[in-house]
Structure 1
Amino acid sequence: MTEADLPPRLTQLTFHGPLSEARAARIVDRLGRAAPARVLDIGCGWGELMLRVLDAVPGATGTGIDLNGEDIARGRANAEARGLAGRVEFVEGSAEGASHGSADLVLCLGASHALSDAEPPEHSAGALRALRRIVAPGGRVLLAEGFWQRSPTSAELAAMWPDARADEFHDLGGLVDVAVSAGFRPVWIETADGDEWEDFESGYQADAEEWLAAHPDHPLAQETRERVDRHRSSWLRGYRGVLGMAYLTLVPVG
């Protein structure tokens, strides 16, 4: 079976998360004004936001770390196409325990699990302590982390991922408190809106849905159909309007 026979993966997503072009532009502008010399992207995927920061800050260099080789290859290709290949390195591997040194800007977008093996929600605190050690004095951390917008009902939890729990996430106030306890001040607090979530969830499934419509009898169709149907149901019946995504711009204290 060739690559062309397989469902394409995430080609209709610009960012691997509920992040709009408008919000990304504001974040890049805000982070770029601090003129970071070195950017580190933990769990980078294809590193789209990191590449935009490098575009905005001439001379800055970046390192992206992720376990997914396909995403790493996409990031390298995008960097090459934008003339940034000489200023960025994409590393396929684990971020936890890696010797990546300090950075003026650390991005951790939906990837706190890469820095802590604690059970949720304690993993957030563990990741924030690790980020506090990594970020250079006077630098910035951009953390994108899930939080409960409201307490989920039993029915909603049952419709989510396996073993979903009501105590799995903090609320927004609790998440910010954890960041403060880890040694940060939150200079900007914002959250993904409904449109950003819908664009992300639709884009996340769109490649597979179009492939299924065109290949209903393919040997992989049943497995793919079950996977995308399960994910869609988890979103629409489970965490839609319940799970939020916070974007916290953090500055280390002292």
Structure 2
Amino acid sequence: MKTIPETLRAATERLAAISATPRLDAELLLAHALRIDRNALLMRQRDLAVPPGFASLIERRLTGEPIAYITGTRDFWTISLHVTPDVLIPRPDTETLIEAALDHFGTRAPARILDLGTGSGALLLAALSQWPKARGAGVDISPATLAVARGNADRLGLADRADFRLGNWADGLAGPFDLILINPPYIARNVTLSGDVLHEPQGALFAGAEGLDDYRRIAPVLPALLAPDGMAAIEIGYDQRASVSTLLADQGLSVRVRQDLAGHDRCLIATPDAAA
């Protein structure tokens, strides 16, 4: 029987063909199979045995299935979320929106938060964990997605401050909101995808011929939803700064850009003109 170190080496070699992080993948999957966290696995390699279910997890990963869907969890900001194939997998790039909000509010705190296209609830729940007195609403068009978000709110003890609603973007909503968080679909429909996104819900990825369809729906409603000193943090694709900025500026909003850790344009910060 192979030891834990031997098993990890063998799994890493197999996963190298399909993953840019084969060793990390192997460790996360083995920790999941053992029902411990990765740190515990690394500290206890010499006194653990390989569980029988580990091999099947590796086979699933070799088909391209994302680690987050196999383990059912994903860390985001300061929280850990349950994820399923019904929701987009939260990514570190999206944390740029929370960072932008922290800079905007400084020592203040938003009281009322709106998350459009909430998915797993990642942005709203991260914001509510950051600002303990805030309350918020998360909107999504998918009932299955909202079930995941509500479950996450319950597990994190945030259900009493998070109202998840079925809806098409901001239809039927009334402001003002101090903070609006938006991570819409923004991939052009002719783009060829690879990797984890092949397994993610297509409706959360694609947005028409230019990837701009949902920005065009959202931009006109933002001025009426934003508080005078509020802000909207909107995720964009790396090459969409100019096009989406124009859509927002045409609505009388002031727009700034924030880059992610890789130096890519990632978040547009839209504020009422007087608050710029």
Report how far residue 65 of structure 1 moved: 0.7
Q: Is the contact made by 1:186 and 1:251 (CA closer than 8 Å) also made in structure 2?
A: yes
**Of 40-49 and 70-79, the range deviating more from structure 2:** 70-79
1:248 match: 268
Task: Please list every run of 5 or more consecutive structure 2 residues that lacks an aligned counterpart in the other structure.
Answer: 1-64, 77-88, 187-202
Structure 1 residues 53 and 96: alpha-carbon distance in aligned structure 2, compared to 1, 3 A threshold: closer
Structure 1-normalised TM-score? Answer: 0.56
Report how far residue 104 of structure 1 moved: 1.0
**Of 15-24 and 95-104, the range deviating more from structure 2:** 15-24
The separation in 2 between residues aligned to 1:76 and 1:66, in whole angstroms, is 12
1:132 match: 223
The separation in 2 between residues aligned to 1:111 and 1:129, in whole angstroms, is 17
2:244 match: 175
Report how far residue 193 of structure 1 moved: 3.6
Paired letter, 1:86: D
2:126 match: 52
Structure 2-normalised TM-score? Answer: 0.52
1:18-66 Cα deviation digits (max 9, x unpaired): 4348646634532553411100111111221211111121211000011
Matches within 5 A, 1:82-231: 82-111=156-185, 120=210, 121=212, 123-146=214-237, 148=239, 170=240, 172-191=241-260, 193=262
Paired letter, 1:97: D
> Higher relative contact order at CA 8 Å, sep ≥6: structure 1 or structure 2?
1
1:71 match: 145
Structure 1 residues 250 and 22: alpha-carbon distance in aligned structure 2, compared to 1, 3 A threshold: closer
1:163-221 Cα deviation digits (max 9, x unpaired): xxxxxxx5x23332332222222244225749xxxxxxxxxxxxxxxxxxxxxxxxxxx
Task: Please list every run of 5 or more consecutive structure 1 residues that lacks an aligned counterpart in the other structure.
Answer: 1-6, 149-169, 195-243
Report how far residue 76 of structure 1 moved: 1.5
Q: Is the contact made by 2:113 and 2:178 (CA closer than 8 Å) also made in structure 1?
A: yes
Tell me if 1:19 matches 2:39.
Answer: no
Q: Is the contact made by 1:14 and 1:48 (CA closer than 8 Å) also made in structure 2?
A: no
Report sequence identity in percent: 24
Tell me if 1:30 matches 2:95.
Answer: no
Tell me if 1:80 matches 2:171.
Answer: no
